[in-house]
Amino acid sequence: MQFAPVFHAEWLKIRTVRSLPGALLALFAATTAFSAIAGTGGTSDPDLDPLFTALSGVTLGQIAALAFGAMAVSAEYHNGALRLSLAAVPRRGRWFAAKATAIAVPVLVVSLPTALAALLVARAGLGPAASGLTPAEQIRGVVGCAVHLTLMSLFAAGLATLLRSAVATLSVLIPFLLVVSFVIGDAAGTVVEFMPDRAGQVVLYETHDGTLGPWSGLMVTALWTAAALGAGAWSLRRRDA
């Protein structure tokens, strides 16, 4: 079977799982709402980075992206759905590539207007504090935000394929990302900069003094994602459906 019909079939599955559109709606709502709150409350900070403040809602929005990727995969492990999928598409690598693409496309499509909306509502709250942002910086922030959310969704999808459970995946990822990034934070030194969430969010800063730059940070997140997808593909090939 060619890739296009496999992708179309996987896209139809995602559309029919009720929780998945809800996860995308949560991604939009959480990102824009918390960016708006940050925009109204951050103008008095002398160390304010207006671009990151405007897009800071992605920190919570990425949880919805993780949930979307994990649930899209874990649905295959309910009621023998994966057996039917692999019976229709015996080439597991092709099926997995189609599933990953069907996850990435809607997340990217939703994330672009989400990032733009977050930037606009937060800028309205920041007022003159955001006046120094250039068009290039804002475009980079919006596009980078969308790419980051897409990569995080695929990262969760790869781990969910390995663990075969959305609950297990989110139980590992959410505490891991929240504890390492927000509790341990800078106390862990430069190691934290190379975690998937922190590295990808460097693109959201107007200026950043760390080891990674905007695009090298996204590349680090992409490497984490590739490793997770590779582990998931290995598990899919080695284990019974």
pLDDT value at position 186? 59
Q: How far apart are CA 122 and CA 236, in angstroms?
A: 42
Find out whether 140 and 213 touch, Cβ atoms under 8 Å: no
From the list 68, 64, 97, 99, the residue with the least C-alpha distance to 81 is 99
Question: What residues of the chain score a pLDDT lower than 50?
Answer: none
Q: What is the DSSP string of 24-48?
A: HHHHHHHHHHHHHHHHHH-TT-TT-
Q: How far apart are CA 36 and CA 38, in angstroms?
A: 5
From the list 117, 88, 200, the residue with the least C-alpha distance to 155 is 200
pLDDT value at position 43? 59
Q: Which phi and psi (to 5°) does residue 14 adopt?
A: -60, -40
pLDDT value at position 6? 86
The per-residue b/e assignment along 161-176, b for 16 or more CB within 10 angstroms, e otherwise, is bbbbbbeebbeebbee
pLDDT, tens digit (0-9, with 9 covering 90-100), for 29-54: 999 999 999 888 755 666 788 899 99
Find out whether 21 and 40 touch, Cβ atoms under 8 Å: no
Q: What is the DSSP string of 131-160?
A: TT--HHHHHHHHHHHHHHHHHHHHHHHHHH
pLDDT value at position 46? 64
Q: Is 79 left (phi over 0), alpha (psi -120 to 50) or beta?
A: left
Q: How far apart are CA 109 and CA 104, in angstroms?
A: 9
pLDDT value at position 153? 97
Q: Which amino acid belongs to residue 83?
A: R
Number of H helices, E strands in the chain: 10, 0
Find out whether 68 and 27 touch, Cβ atoms under 8 Å: yes
pLDDT value at position 48? 82
